[in-house]
Structure 1
Amino acid sequence: MKISFIGTFPPRECGIGTFTRNLIDSVVAAPGNDGPNKVMVVAIDDHGQRYDYPKEVKLTIRQEEQADYLEAASFINISGADICVLQHEFGIFGGQNGIYILPLLHRLKIPLIVTLHTVLKTPSYNERAVMIEICKIAHTVVVMSRTAVEMLIEEYGVAESKIAQIAHGVPDIQFDQLAAKKEFKLSTKHVLLTFGFIGRNKGIEVVLKALPAVVAKYPQLVYIVLGKTHPNVIRHSGEEYRIFLMGLVKKLGIEKHVIFMNEFVDQTELFKYLSASDIYITPYTNEAQITSGTLSYAIGAGSAVISTPYWHAAELLSEDRGRLFPFNDVQALSDIFLDLLDNPETMKTLRGNAYDYGREITWPKIGEKYAQLAEKIVAEQPDVVGETETILDLLALPPFLLDHIQRLTDDTGIIQHAKYGIPNLKEGYCLDDNARALLMVLMTYKRNKHPLALRLSPTYLSYINYMQNPDGAFRNFLSFNRNFLDKIGSEDSFGRTIWSLGYLLGNAPNDAYYQTGREIFFDAMPNFAKLKSIRSIANTIVGICHYLKSNPTDEGMIEVLRQLTNRLMADYELNRTDDWHWYESLLAYDNAFLPLAMLHAAEFLNNEEVNRIALESMDFLCDITLKNGYLSIVGNEKWYKKDGESSMFAQQPLDALAMVLMFHQAFRLTGDQAYVQQLNTCFMWFLGENDLRISLYDFETKGCCDGLESYGVNRNQGAESTLAYLISHLSVLEAFEELTKLKAAKS
């Protein structure tokens, strides 16, 4: 069996790297069903650092380079590996909360085992989303304590059948205590030890404050703090914590009893220090540590351990394998020190119990458990999550809720932006969003007579009316204190308003709404011929087509539609080449709205050329954005120039909406059911089928995040994004109803 491992790896100085090294060695040594196990490593580099890796490392990933993660997925898939084992810790992967690992995992075509080194009880929104997605992809999730099992079940909804509990392994290394003390010239000393990366959450100051009372009775005591400051701490705070500790030692007058060793020692040397110590201490400052490799090592070495009751310690030190003291309780720690030093037999019992348990978790035994788990999974030939086709189950959709829209709306209109899920009043209102909001509530009311949708409709319509100038054009921006911020808005905002008003004229809930909308629409009509922006023309075409659905005999409006459509066609023919079937020399924003407009126009103009251009440009856009089986939007970061490369970030919900609407209209026009599946694929961009493999829909606020950035999800939830999601959601529901009717008619 060949196993691919992903994680940090020596010589990078990292606890997970050491874990991966030990796990690989023990898996290789474990018996395999079809001969010796083979391994390969994909190693994660650290913030621009490069390492001289051993031969097992076949590929490296630069932590903050997302392209490296995609390359790694392809490499693993063609490597001949039977299964992949990921070592997961949020901080070792790139992007917001390590989000860059998700696209890699989704692209794997082999089963996945994930070892979780951290499970958070109160994760942030992004941490929870990343963890849930990882657990969803994995065939089996390995944790190292029962507490972690319970947290995954209760906090993250992971099925218990998917979780395996395998303890943290410890090296099978032993030294005689007297010999080790003699080598370190500590034969006459009572030795206390803490090791591992140093940082504020380690609580070493608690031990220092407890020492004066202990050294007063045991003047030969020495406390060794063995370990370098954590690299992340160095980057942000330098050696501030170590300097603080050294100052505290001096203040307490215990300089002769404390030794700081700023080293990252190898395992053999470490176990020699553990053997030389009388007591090992992990005085961490809070409970939120689900796994501690240092604690496991101390148990494996048969140390007498004292610890605060963080999650792993409370579990590992049960059954008289150690002593616990309350967080930050200096007096309690002093008392335990004195009790153990006063009673050598008690200390001997603790050491014996720890040693006996440590024999059960040596790396050879842990490696064999991993190897057996991998063999079992490979033999079962499970389906791989990343290979499954996106098929939308309507029952699995989030409920359609207007909570966030209601939160953003006041008696003037819908607030343009939000800080996370909270309206940002400083940014005021804009015409685009109120037009889209009107469209959304009209669609909602048409579908299910939602009373809130009807109640909100006049607010958005009155905003549009208020922003219209005497010449029929519109202002766009209004401050929160209702001051105009421009004299004339963008052509894009004009076109989106006509789109919304056209829909109103075809789907008005009552005559008052219809008459108001009709006045605004026709007052704006003289400006149609003045439009220059290609997207404004496209939005206006869609609005006209919605109007014509209820007024199909309006020959004057059909002629206006023909003229605007001809302008799109002219732009298309001007820019089209054999390998570039598009209306411009680049793909920018809201791209799908251009073929969408042509698809709408084709419904009324009975022109084969319009139909051809609509479908040809749609296929061209699909070849670029759907080539990997999910929607990868052209990002607004740099866009996609002809003969250039597509920009991956920042991807906007507005573009996903346009894709959904485009496929919906293509299905209506052609009756081809394949377009409904493509509509589904595009909608699932909102729910995690995207380049970062994470949902933009916020299940807590019922809003939609503002986009995919290079660092992860933009957590702000403005009106545009949430409206894009809701209109897309409604379009999905409509498409499925139409598909059902079509199938029924055929049967």
Structure 2
Amino acid sequence: MSAATPGFEHLLRLSDDTGLFEHARYAVVRREHGYCTDDVARGLVVACREPRPGRRLTRLAECYLAFLTHAQDRSGAFRNRLTFGRRWVEPPGVGDWWGRAMWGLGTAAARTAIPWIRDEALHTFVRGAEQRSPHPRAMAFAGLGAAEVLRMTPDSTVAASLLMDAVAAIGTPSEQPTWPWPQPQLTYANAALAEVIVAAGELSDDRQLLTTGLRMLTWLSDIQTHDGLLAVVPATGWRQGAPRARYDQQPIEVAALADACATAACVTGDDVWHERVRRSVAWFEGANDAHVSMRDPATGGGYDGLTEHGPNLNQGAESTIALISTMQHARRL
């Protein structure tokens, strides 16, 4: 897999006719952990971003969409975890998995060229948009899906309402120049929060909101860049005023930053954002704190994390999708 060709071989290896398995030991599926809506939704995003999907990729998108429609209840909430024996183990809810499902559905409704996938995704998205989550990140993920729908259908009041509610849930960033962020701690998928505000500013033609999102994203990108290399906030997070750990760095952080910077590049036309996308691509190729590749050339899988001893060689769904997503941006560059 080259930077210009995002590979789906390992994602196909992790999938069956039900959905997408969450975990792998090295490159081999661990079926005992089953499936989750979180990862299936992520898979739908990258499958539907492909401009010319072949038969296998179209079938994968259909499978992931069917999983999400099965996971959703009549209220629009989603179940998250399904066992290998096809038994749901949690009640429907509006945690991160609801937000990511909405992101996947919005992307499918807006980007796929397959009419029946597009129509069913939009129907399921509209039902899901009846819900709201108390969790800012869940709302941010849902807001990304809403932004996708609005780019396709600018007069969608359902999507517009969800997007602006996502902005409200994220909150107003601090005025402190050293920490211009809405919360006192960076945790996971941080760049998604800034991306939603950038998208909302663009789609509502609100220049102040757009400026706020770009300021957040600039700061987040700058504090995660050292000597020209990307060094994302580790899995333990980073609280304002506290020491910052170096490891374990997660591919999801790199992919979220690439997504947000690609959106900023599209909105502003400024080449500086393209360069920041390239740093994310380079992180997977070895331009990171440990100077090691974060993908397996034999399988096409993405490694599960960057530790002080090198990569975690397991190749689960989240990390593989993060790799694919980032390489999709590389191809567009």
Instruction: Give the TM bin, normalised by the shorter chain.
Output: over 0.9
Q: Deviations over 1:2-45 (max 9, x none)?
A: xxxxxxxxxxxxxxxxxxxxxxxxxxxxxxxxxxxxxxxxxxxx
Residues 16-415 of structure 1: matches in 2 within 5 Å? 397=3, 399-415=5-21
Give the structure 2 partner of residue 442 of structure 1.
48
2:36 to 430, 440, 445: 430
**Runs of 4+ displaced beyond 4 Å:** none
Give the structure 2 partner of residue 582 of structure 1.
181
Answering whether residue 74 of structure 2 is matched by residue 478 of structure 1, we say no
In structure 2, relative to structure 1, the CA distance for the partners of 1:490 and 1:648 (3 Å cut) is farther
In structure 1, stretches of 5+ residues that fail to align are: 1-394, 737-747
Is this contact kept in 1: 2:234–2:247, CA < 8 A? yes
Cα deviation, residue 533, structure 1: 1.2
In structure 2, stretches of 5+ residues that fail to align are: none
Mapped partners of 1:541, 1:693: distance in 2: 35
Give the structure 1 partner of residue 135 of structure 2.
533
Is this contact kept in 1: 2:106–2:146, CA < 8 A? yes
Mapped partners of 1:556, 1:406: distance in 2: 33
Mapped partners of 1:691, 1:572: distance in 2: 32
1:625 to 224, 247, 263: 224
Give the structure 1 partner of residue 250 of structure 2.
652
Q: What is the identity, as a one-letter code, of the residue corresponding to 1:567?
A: A
Is this contact kept in 2: 1:542–1:601, CA < 8 A? no
Secondary structure of 2:230 counterpart? coil
Mapped partners of 2:165, 2:3: distance in 1: 41
1:682 to 266, 270, 280: 280
Is this contact kept in 1: 2:136–2:166, CA < 8 A? no
Give the structure 2 partner of residue 133 of structure 1.
none
2:159 to 539, 551, 557: 557
Secondary structure of 1:645 counterpart? coil
- Percent of counterpart pairs with the same letter? 27
Q: What is the identity, as a one-letter code, of the residue corresponding to 1:535?
A: R
In structure 2, relative to structure 1, the CA distance for the partners of 1:576 and 1:645 (3 Å cut) is farther
Mapped partners of 1:432, 1:516: distance in 2: 19
Q: What is the identity, as a one-letter code, of the residue corresponding to 2:257?
A: M
TM-score by length of structure 1 reads 0.43
Mapped partners of 2:7, 2:67: distance in 1: 23
Cα deviation, residue 506, structure 1: 0.8
Secondary structure of 1:704 counterpart? coil
Mapped partners of 2:94, 2:160: distance in 1: 25
Give the structure 2 partner of residue 105 of structure 1.
none
Q: Deviations over 1:244-298 (max 9, x none)?
A: xxxxxxxxxxxxxxxxxxxxxxxxxxxxxxxxxxxxxxxxxxxxxxxxxxxxxxx
Cα deviation, residue 635, structure 1: 0.5
Residues 509-520 of structure 1: matches in 2 within 5 Å? 509-520=113-124
Residues 653-668 of structure 1: matches in 2 within 5 Å? 653-668=251-266
Mapped partners of 1:502, 1:408: distance in 2: 23
Cα deviation, residue 502, structure 1: 0.7
Cα deviation, residue 576, structure 1: 4.2
In structure 2, relative to structure 1, the CA distance for the partners of 1:559 and 1:456 (3 Å cut) is closer
What root-mean-square deviation, in Å, do the aligned CA atoms of Structure 1 and Structure 2 show?
Answer: 1.6
Is this contact kept in 2: 1:632–1:691, CA < 8 A? yes
Secondary structure of 1:401 counterpart? coil
Is this contact kept in 1: 2:129–2:162, CA < 8 A? no
Higher strand share: 1
Cα deviation, residue 397, structure 1: 2.8
Mapped partners of 1:620, 1:728: distance in 2: 20
Give the structure 2 partner of residue 421 of structure 1.
27
Mapped partners of 2:178, 2:160: distance in 1: 33
Mapped partners of 2:104, 2:282: distance in 1: 24
Mapped partners of 2:157, 2:6: distance in 1: 38
Is this contact kept in 1: 2:19–2:35, CA < 8 A? yes
Q: Deviations over 1:324-353 (max 9, x none)?
A: xxxxxxxxxxxxxxxxxxxxxxxxxxxxxx
Q: What is the identity, as a one-letter code, of the residue corresponding to 2:268?
A: T
Is this contact kept in 1: 2:306–2:312, CA < 8 A? yes
TM-score by length of structure 2 reads 0.95
Q: Deviations over 1:519-559 (max 9, x none)?
A: 2111111113xx12111111111110100111112245324
Cα deviation, residue 399, structure 1: 4.3
Higher relative contact order (CA 8 A, sep 6+): 2
Is this contact kept in 1: 2:126–2:158, CA < 8 A? no
Mapped partners of 1:431, 1:646: distance in 2: 31
Is this contact kept in 2: 1:562–1:605, CA < 8 A? no
Mapped partners of 1:599, 1:567: distance in 2: 15
Cα deviation, residue 396, structure 1: 5.7
Cα deviation, residue 710, structure 1: 2.6
Give the structure 2 partner of residue 493 of structure 1.
97
